[in-house]
Amino acid sequence: MKPIIYAANAGDRNDRGMLGAIALGELIASRLAVEAQTVAQPVELVEGGWADQLRAATPNLRVLAREFGKRLEHDEHVLLTMGRCAASIATLPLAARRYPDAAIVWFDAHGDCNVPIGGRASDMNYLGGMVLTGAAGEWDTGFGDGVNLANVILVGARDLDPPEQDRIDAGHISHVPVGSRLGERLRDAIGGRRVYIHLDCDVMDAGLLATEYQSPAGLSFLELADAFDKLAEHDVLGLEIAEYEARWPDGRPNDPDHLVRSVWSVVAKLRR
């Protein structure tokens, strides 16, 4: 299994995520004793709202979708590192189409299920905050749809906008909040289904990892490891890791070792 590294743009506001995708992907590949496949390289940052960001990222995201789709066509399980979670608009529809019954386990401090306000392309919505609804077809990403939000399990979300909280309260999307017995509660929510996993590193407690959005009251590495141990008990179809930044805003290097060890039970499962 060769990890895929997507190091190009997807709504980036700094270059640390693009560089982090490379560092993390290469470290995982090294520990697997394989060579990673980099499908797109870092690019210059783009100014503007969500539509401008999406337009600029689309050519590189097309490359990601093509390579991701090839893996699925060959029934390969996928391990992917990406700079920003917005790149998932290119992967989730393909995964959902291939595995329509799978639970999509979405670790994130945010709900990522907003929609463009009024549908106006000029709005300054954050592209990464609309990933799940885009993949579900509630707005047009240009990369298809097919994700059933009823199959999505948010894990660790705590910085939620009112419309996102309304979706959870109405039961339209599941949520496993931070707290005791996280791994067991996640296992109960999955209910024995196959799983496709997305890990946004901002789900971690502020100060543990350099991410674009730091938020308190998140997961510890021990809690993340427990959750991934429970996930490894299932049929894991793929894992994508986003929002890992290679360095802190003040220039200090980020250390990925604790993160990699926390998710290794799933990485090992994918390798087998």
Residue 68 has pLDDT above 80, yes or no: yes
Residue 202 CA to residue 107 CA, distance in Å, equals: 9
Work out the mean pLDDT of the chain and round it to a whole number.
94
Q: Per the structure block, which two tokens stand in for 170?
A: 């109405």
Percent of the chain, pLDDT > 70?
A: 97
pLDDT at 29 over 90: yes
Q: Which long-range contacts (CB under 8 A, 24 or more apart) does 62-66 make?
A: 62/90, 63/39, 64/4, 64/6, 64/8, 64/39, 64/40, 64/90, 64/91, 65/90, 65/91, 65/94, 65/143
Please report which confidence band the pLDDT of residue 119 belongs to, taking 50, 70 and 90 as the band edges: low
CA distances from 113 to 110, 158, 159, 164, 261 (A): 9, 13, 12, 6, 29
Superfamily name and number for 4-271: Ureohydrolase domain (3.40.800.10)
Domain ranges of the chain: 4-271
- pLDDT of amino acid 123: 57
pTM of the model: 0.96
Cα separation of 1 and 239, whole Å? 12
Q: For residue range 184-220, what is the model confidence (pLDDT) as tens digits?
A: 999 999 999 999 999 999 999 988 888 888 778 899 9
Distance, CA of 230 to CA of 105 (rounded, Å): 12
